[in-house]
Structure 1
Amino acid sequence: MTLPTKDQQTELEAAAFRRLVSHLRNRPDVQNIDMMNLAGFCRNCLSNWYLDAAKESGIDLTKDESREIVYGMPYDAWKSLHQREASAEQRQAFERNRPKE
């Protein structure tokens, strides 16, 4: 087995990130609360991680800008188009499974 070089690994990780973002943009039916309940992360988490990485690299990016990168549109626009009200069961599951910081 040949492991990728550090530069190749970075390229592969970037490609995987772009594919994940594209997949999420094409699946607006998948609600963030469902992602949080099943996987422990959602689009907002992903945009926060992106923002953290930008700040660590000295890139001046806002939370709204990082969300637009992940959502493909302003967050408020995405919410009005795609976000549904969470059910009582979804909210209860979120409270049970919410990440402890």
Structure 2
Amino acid sequence: MDDATRTEIEAAAFRRLQQHLMQDRPDVQNIDLMNLAGFCRNCLSRWLQEAAAERGIAMSKDAARAAFYGMPYEDWKARHQTEASPEKQAAFEKAFAENVGKDGA
């Protein structure tokens, strides 16, 4: 398989993951994704922002989130985010530190 075809296939898989998380399963909370898998929708939007930066394209955190979520992040939260239990919040702090880093980088 050539590099261009591999890139197209990877991009299609990413778009399918995005569709699954945004349209098919908006009920799955970011905190649950982070606690179980070590990443969430916000991580995916950050990776999008980082990929743009690697190519010299400036993209703000808000713009990256809007690109991934298909709407402003605050709108997504209002529509889909629920309150997390103290247990989930504690697990998130641990998962975030292990997978993202204490400084959020």
TM-score by length of 1: 0.90
Q: Secondary structure at the match of 1:59?
A: coil
Of 8-17 and 57-66, more deviation after overlay is shown by: 57-66
d(CA) in 1 for partners of 2:95, 2:46: 19
Match of residue 78 from structure 1: 76
Q: Which runs of 5+ in 1 are unaligned?
A: none
Instruction: Confirm or deny that 1:66 pairs with 2:64.
Output: yes
Q: Which runs of 5+ in 2 are unaligned?
A: none
Q: Quote the RMSD (CA, aligned, Å).
A: 1.1
Q: What is the number of equivalent residue pairs in this alignment? A: 98
Of 45-54 and 90-99, more deviation after overlay is shown by: 90-99
- CA shift, 1:98, in A, is 2.8
Q: Which runs of 4+ in 1 moved over 2 A?
A: 95-101
TM-score by length of 2: 0.87
Match of residue 23 from structure 1: 20
| Identity between Structure 1 and Structure 2 (%) | 58
Match of residue 5 from structure 1: 2
Q: Is the 8 A contact 1:37 1:93 kept in 2?
A: yes
Q: 1:55 to 1:89 in 2, by over 3 A?
A: same
Q: Is the 8 A contact 1:40 1:99 kept in 2?
A: no
Q: Which has the greater radius of gyration?
A: 1
